[in-house]
Amino acid sequence: MSDLQSTARFSDRVDDYVRYRPDYPPALLEWLQREQGVNADWRVADVGAGTGISSKLFLDAGYRVTAVEPNAPMRAAAEHWLQAYENFDAVGGKANATGLPDASVDLVTVAQAFHWFDEETTRREFARILRPGGLAAIWWNSRRLTGTRFLEGYEALLQQFGTDYTSVAERYADDARMRHWYGAGFRGSASFQHAQRLDFEALRGRLMSSSYAPQVGHPQHEPMLQALRELFDNCAEHGTVSFDYDTRIFAGHLA
Q: Which residues sit opposite 90 in a β-bridge?
A: 67
**Gap between the Cα atoms of 104 and 229, Å rounded:** 48
DSSP string, 83-107: TT-TTEEEE--BTTB--PPTT-EEE
CATH number at residue 111: 3.40.50.150
148 lies in some domain: no
Structural domain contains residue 160: no
Tell me the residue range of the domain where 119 lies.
Answer: 2-143+167-196+245-252
32 found inside a domain? yes
For residue 134, being part of any structural domain is answered with yes
Report the number of secondary-structure helices (H) and strands (E) in the chain. Answer: 10, 7
What average pLDDT score do residues 177-202 get?
A: 97
pLDDT beyond 90 at 255: no
Q: Label residue 1 by pLDDT band (50, 70, 90).
A: very low
**Whole-angstrom distance, CA of residue 187 vs CA of residue 252:** 5
Kindly state the average pLDDT of the residues 215-237. 97
Residue 218 included in any domain: no
State the amino acid at position 1 in one-letter form: M
- The region of weakest confidence among 10-14, 40-44, 113-117, 181-185 is 10-14
pLDDT tens for residues 67-119?
A: 999 999 999 999 999 999 999 999 999 999 999 999 999 999 999 889 889 99
Query: Does any domain span residue 27?
Result: yes
d(CA 198, CA 140): 19
Q: Report if residue 135 sits inside a domain.
A: yes
**Interatomic CA distance for residues 253 and 255, integer angstroms:** 6
Average of per-residue pLDDT across 129-140? 97
Of 7, 131, 152, 146, whose CA–CA distance to 72 is shortest?
7
The model's confidence at residue 222, banded by pLDDT at 50, 70 and 90, is very high
Instruction: Look at the chain and report how many structural domains it folds into.
Output: 1
| pLDDT exceeds 90 at position 210 | no
Q: Report yes or no on 202 lying in a domain.
A: no
- The pLDDT of residue 6 is above 80: no
Residue 9's pLDDT band (cuts 50, 70, 90): very low
Q: What whole-number distance in Å separates Cα of residue 99 and Cα of residue 92?
A: 8
